[in-house]
Amino acid sequence: MKKLYGVTTAMITPFTQAGEVDYEAFERLTDFLIRRGVQCLYPCGTTGEMYHLSVAERERIAETVINQAAGRVTVYIHVGAMDQQETITLARHALENHADGVGIVTPSFFGVTDRELFHYYSTIAQTLPDDFPVYLYNIPQCSANDLKPDTVRRLAEDCPNIVGIKYSLPDLLRTDEYLHIRKDFLVMHGTDRLFLPLLAMGCSGTVSGVSNVYPELFVAVYKAWLAGDLKKAREMQTFATEACNLLKSGENMSYFKHGLMHRHVDGGSMRAPQMGLSVEENAKLMEELAEAESRWPKGLLIED
CATH of the domain at 230: 3.20.20.70
Q: Does a structural domain hold residue 302?
A: no
Q: Does a structural domain hold residue 189?
A: yes
User: Mean pLDDT in the chain?
Assistant: 97
Tell me: pLDDT of 250 over 80: no
Q: Does a structural domain hold residue 47?
A: yes
**Are 40 and 186 within 8 A, CB to CB?**
no
Instruction: Single out the residue of 295, 270, 294, 272 nearest to residue 281, CA to CA.
Output: 270
**Are 161 and 136 within 8 A, CB to CB?**
no
> What are the phi and psi torsion angles at 122 (to 5°)?
-65, -35
Question: How is 40-84 classified by DSSP, letter by letter?
Answer: EEE-SSTTTTGGGS-HHHHHHHHHHHHHHHTTSSEEEEE---SSH
Residue 99 confidence (pLDDT):
98
Q: Does a structural domain hold residue 45?
A: yes
Tens digit of each residue's pLDDT (9 = 90 or more) over 70-85: 999 999 999 999 999 9
**Averaged pLDDT for residues 194-198:** 98
Residue 188 is inside which H or E element, if any? strand 186-189
Q: Does a structural domain hold residue 223?
A: yes
Tens digit of each residue's pLDDT (9 = 90 or more) over 277-291: 999 999 999 999 999
For residue 91, the enclosing domain spans: 6-295
Q: Does a structural domain hold residue 224?
A: yes
Cα separation of 38 and 73, whole Å? 8
Query: Angle at the Cα of 9 (from 304 to 155), degrees rounded to 5?
Result: 165
Amino acid at 241: T
Residue 13 confidence (pLDDT):
98
Residue 106 confidence (pLDDT):
98
Residue 251 confidence (pLDDT):
84
Q: Does a structural domain hold residue 304?
A: no
Tens digit of each residue's pLDDT (9 = 90 or more) over 136-175: 999 999 999 999 999 999 999 999 999 999 999 999 999 9
**Are 277 and 269 within 8 A, CB to CB?**
no
Q: Does a structural domain hold residue 303?
A: no
Which residues, including other chains, have CB under 8 Å from residue 284's CB and lie 6 or more apart?
A: none
Tens digit of each residue's pLDDT (9 = 90 or more) over 12-44: 999 999 999 999 999 999 999 999 999 999 999
Q: Per the structure, how many domains does the chain have? A: 1
Catalytic residue among 120, 166, 167, 178: 166
| 137: annotated active-site residue | yes
Catalytic residue among 76, 120, 121, 137: 137
| 166: annotated active-site residue | yes
Q: Count other Cβ atoms within 10 Å, centred on residue 201.
A: 14
Cα separation of 118 and 58, whole Å? 25
Q: In the structure, what pLDDT confidence band is assigned to residue 10 with cuts at 50, 70 and 90?
A: very high
**Are 256 and 243 within 8 A, CB to CB?**
no
